[in-house]
């Protein structure tokens, strides 16, 4: 298993934030170049492990959409694509409840599935989604996340493929949002604390 890159706390000023975002984003955690390189590596790994196999890629909306789009274009295998959407309720120490607001359109019975999400944090989303997919009797489910935040894990689950391990920070960009904004940033960044307050 190749080493998963680990990102340490960003030093302010390192990885310059483009001018148009400077009011809202305090620093770049993972640059566009670094993202591209790592997504290509993940795609190579997945391709190698699934050679001669047909894959159903299940992308969790909306956070994994940008990652998915870059990743699948680097996997030269027969792929079918579908989406699910999950939402969670409950915070802090209350166990979170996950419900699905969009189900699959394709049948995954007997198929190899690659489940994609943007980030694994507590682990509930990936855990519950995988459990839901298992009820549909796929042949095998592999999981892939771009980011892993292991600090607050509440479920014993690890993705089979993981882009970067990051500290317990709230990140936005490259598909990930805060109050539905910032998904279109081409890099992964940290918000100015003022933006947390403004969005409430």
Q: Which of 120, 144, 146, 191 binds ligand IMP (CB under 6 A)?
A: 120
Tell me the window of 21-29, 34-42, 68-76, 117-125 that interacts with ligand IMP (CB under 6 A).
Answer: 117-125
Catalytic residue among 121, 160, 168, 177: 121
Between CA 107 and CA 116, with CA 113 as vertex, the angle to 5 degrees is 115
Q: Which of 26, 59, 125, 162 binds ligand IMP (CB under 6 A)?
A: 125
User: Coil, helix or strand for 24?
Assistant: coil
Residue 101: alpha-carbon gap to chain centroid: 18
Distance CA 196, CA 187 (A): 19
Distance CA 42, CA 114 (A): 12
Q: Closer CB to ligand IMP, residue 38 or residue 47?
A: 38
Q: Closer CB to ligand IMP, residue 50 or residue 176?
A: 176
Distance CA 168, CA 148 (A): 9
With binding defined as CB under 6 A, does residue 119 bind ligand IMP?
yes
CB of 157 to ligand IMP, least distance (A): 9
Distance CA 116, CA 64 (A): 7
With binding defined as CB under 5 A, does residue 63 bind Mg ion?
yes
Binding mask 1-40 for ligand IMP (x = CB under 6 A): ----------------------------------------
Q: Which of 50, 121, 143, 191 binds ligand IMP (CB under 6 A)?
A: 121
Which residues is 147 bridged to in the sheet?
119, 164
């Amino acid at each position: 298993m190749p080493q998963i890159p680990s990102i340490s706390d960003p030093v302010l000023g390192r990885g310059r934030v483009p001018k148009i975002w400077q009011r809202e984003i305090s620093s770049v955690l993972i640059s566009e170049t670094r993202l591209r390189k790592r997504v290509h590596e993940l795609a190579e790994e997945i391709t190698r492990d699934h050679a001669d196999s047909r894959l159903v890629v299940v992308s969790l909306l909306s956070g994994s959409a940008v990652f998915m789009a870059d990743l699948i274009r680097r996997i030269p295998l027969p792929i079918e694509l579908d989406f699910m959407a999950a939402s969670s309720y409950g915070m802090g120490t209350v166990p979170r409840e996950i419900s699905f607001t969009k189900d699959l359109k394709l049948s995954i019975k007997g198929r190899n599935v690659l489940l994609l999400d943007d980030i694994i944090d507590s682990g509930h989303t990936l855990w519950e989604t995988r459990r839901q997919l298992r009820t549909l009797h796929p042949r095998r489910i592999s999981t892939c996340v771009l980011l892993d935040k292991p600090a607050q894990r509440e479920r014993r689950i690890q993705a089979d493929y993981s882009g970067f391990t990051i500290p317990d920070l709230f990140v936005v960009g490259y598909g990930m949002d805060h109050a539905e904004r910032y998904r279109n940033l081409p890099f992964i960044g940290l918000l100015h604390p003022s933006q947390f307050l403004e969005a409430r």
